[in-house]
Chains A and B, each alone.
Chain A
Amino acid sequence: NAGVTQTPKFQVLKTGQSMTLQCAQDMNHNSMYWYRQDPGMGLRLIYYSASEGTTDKGEVPNGYNVSRLNKREFSLRLESAAPSQTSVYFCASRTGESHSPLHFGNGTRLTVT
């Protein structure tokens, strides 16, 4: 059981370049999330999708877009990368029931130069 799979694990971009972070889960979860982790700031929610076909902004959505392609997949796109987007990005999912915890992927370390 793979759980939550993120690709790539590492990425270096130049300012202004675009890229898409991929996330897929095989646990039949309804809800999926994108977080970023910065030193001293914990994890902050970028976007989430409560169910297939819906997406909503989190705390720090500026500069990002998301697509809930189907129940399994939830991608995060940076249209024009900026150095402030250098971070570790985590995808997570959960069933959607109120008590259910988040299951995380292994993260993507993104550096924007």
Chain B
Amino acid sequence: AQTVTQSQPEMSVQEAETVTLSCTYDTSESDYYLFWYKQPPSRQMILVIRQEAYKQQNATENRFSVNFQKAAKSFSLKISDSQLGDAAMYFCAYRNLSGNEKLTFGTGTRLTIIP
């Protein structure tokens, strides 16, 4: 069974600085998708970024980028120029490419932005 591990329950960063959130996963599959979701205090789950395992190039979305290391089964999220609105829980998630509908989530990292 696939598992997703986020080893940092809490992180904090100074406004305008850069922070990296860690995620590792365990799978025997070669093709899959990885996601980062953000959950602000409003409780809404918002997709931040996604990565296809067959793509070597790391995904980027504005200030958000990932460092995808397939061999190490690592998928970290880098937030550049941190803003107060980035304060939230961040969840890493995994899904097989096909045959399994299940999206497996990590336990989350709470990110605090220090003004």
A-B pairs under 8 A by CB, number? 49
Binding site for A on B (CB under 8 A): 4, 9, 33, 35, 42-47, 50, 52, 91, 97-98, 101-103, 105-108
Binding site for B on A (CB under 8 A): 31, 33, 40-45, 48, 50, 56, 58-59, 88, 90, 92, 98-99, 101-104, 106-107
Instruction: Please measure, in the bound complex, the distance between the C-alpha atom of A109 and the C-alpha atom of B44, giving whole angstroms.
Output: 12
Residues of B within 8 A of A106 (CB): 42-44
Asked whether B102 lies within 8 Å of A48 as measured between CB atoms, the reply is yes
- Tell me whether chain A's interface is mostly helix, strand or loop, or mixed: strand
Residues of B within 8 A of A40 (CB): 9, 107
Can you name the residue of chain B whose Cβ is closest to the Cβ of A88? B43
Known interface pairs A43-B91, A99-B52. Does A58 touch B33 (Cβ–Cβ under 8 Å)?
Answer: no
